[in-house]
Amino acid sequence: MGDRAKKAALFEQFAKVGKAMGHGKRLELIDLLAQGERSVESLAAAAGLGLSTASAHLQALKQAGLVATRRDGARIFYALAGPDVAALYSLVRSVARSRVADVEQKRADYLGLTGNDAHSTAGQPAEMTREDLLAQVGAGTVTVLDVRPAEEYRAAHIPGALSIPLEELSSRLGELPPDREIVAYCRGAYCVLAYEAVDFLHSTGRSALRLNDGMLEWRLSGLPVDTGLAA
């Protein structure tokens, strides 16, 4: 039958992971760290948290073994402890979307979607799959646009992608070839940056789609990535 106390102790260890992830802001920090290593200050700013609050959430994640740290002088940098953490986070989102009634509506509200997709235009599809993007990149028929912050692009990006953070897009529009389809991507399937980029590009008369997910899913699929600045 086994020792019930020992079994309970084992399951309490499992529960540490669930407890650490059982907070929306901690999941948001994991989402940011799925893009690459970041300082505490950068994470706090990106998540809209005070520095002490962000540090407390990160410590909870570290105690559960979900994140790792390194020190560079006086600064502390955090990273996911491994790709299994990113995969777990992705699975949590997937289960929530399938099982929690309000998730789809909250997603639509956040991304600004109505009906099938308010961001589609003239009956044309608004998004492109990873498989189609790979084929189009191989044929040289599209420009891949990364609209995440520059530090996330440096950490990992789709090979050949052009980095123009969303807030710089209007001032750097001339860097995009005017005669090619643009495919924008950001952090993942729940990231609004690519939606906003495509809306802006459409308003300027450019032909643009978004990748139907993002860097999180790209990396979990084992597809190639580049790091650092573009050559």
pLDDT at residue 64 tops 80 = yes
Q: Using one digit for the tens of pLDDT, what is the confidence trace for 153-192?
A: 999 999 999 999 999 999 999 999 988 999 999 999 999 9
pLDDT at residue 211 tops 90 = yes
> Catalytic one among 66, 133, 186, 208?
186
**What is the number of structural domains in the chain?**
2
Which structural domain, as residue segments, surrounds residue 50?
4-85
Domain boundary among 29, 63, 85: 85
Same domain, 50 and 139: no
The tokens for 54 are 């962000």
Give every strand in the sheet of 67-72, ordered side by side: 38-39, 75-80, 67-72
Report the distance separating Cα 35 and Cα 212, nearest Å: 17
Question: Is residue 210 one of the residues assigned to a domain?
Answer: yes
pLDDT at residue 121 tops 90 = no
> Maximum distance among all alpha carbons in the chain?
71
Same domain, 71 and 127: no
The pTM of this model reads: 0.91
Q: Where are the beta strands (DSSP E) in the chain?
A: 38-39, 67-72, 75-80, 127-128, 142-146, 162-163, 181-186, 208-214
pLDDT band at 126 (very low <50, low <70, confident <90, very high): confident
Q: What is the pLDDT, as a whole number, of residue 115?
A: 57
Same domain, 137 and 61: no
Q: What is the pLDDT, as a whole number, of residue 122?
A: 46
Question: Is residue 184 one of the residues assigned to a domain?
Answer: yes
Burial class (CB in 10 A: 0-12, 13-18, 19+), 179: exposed
CATH number, position 175:
3.40.250.10
Report the distance separating Cα 142 and Cα 128, nearest Å: 11
Pairing between β-strand 75-80 and β-strand 142-146 as defined by DSSP bridges: unpaired
Same domain, 123 and 190: yes
Question: Is residue 91 one of the residues assigned to a domain?
Answer: no
Coil, helix or strand at residue 224? coil
pLDDT band at 31 (very low <50, low <70, confident <90, very high): very high
Q: Using one digit for the tens of pLDDT, what is the confidence trace for 132-150?
A: 999 998 888 999 999 999 9
186 is catalytic: yes
Question: Is residue 103 one of the residues assigned to a domain?
Answer: no
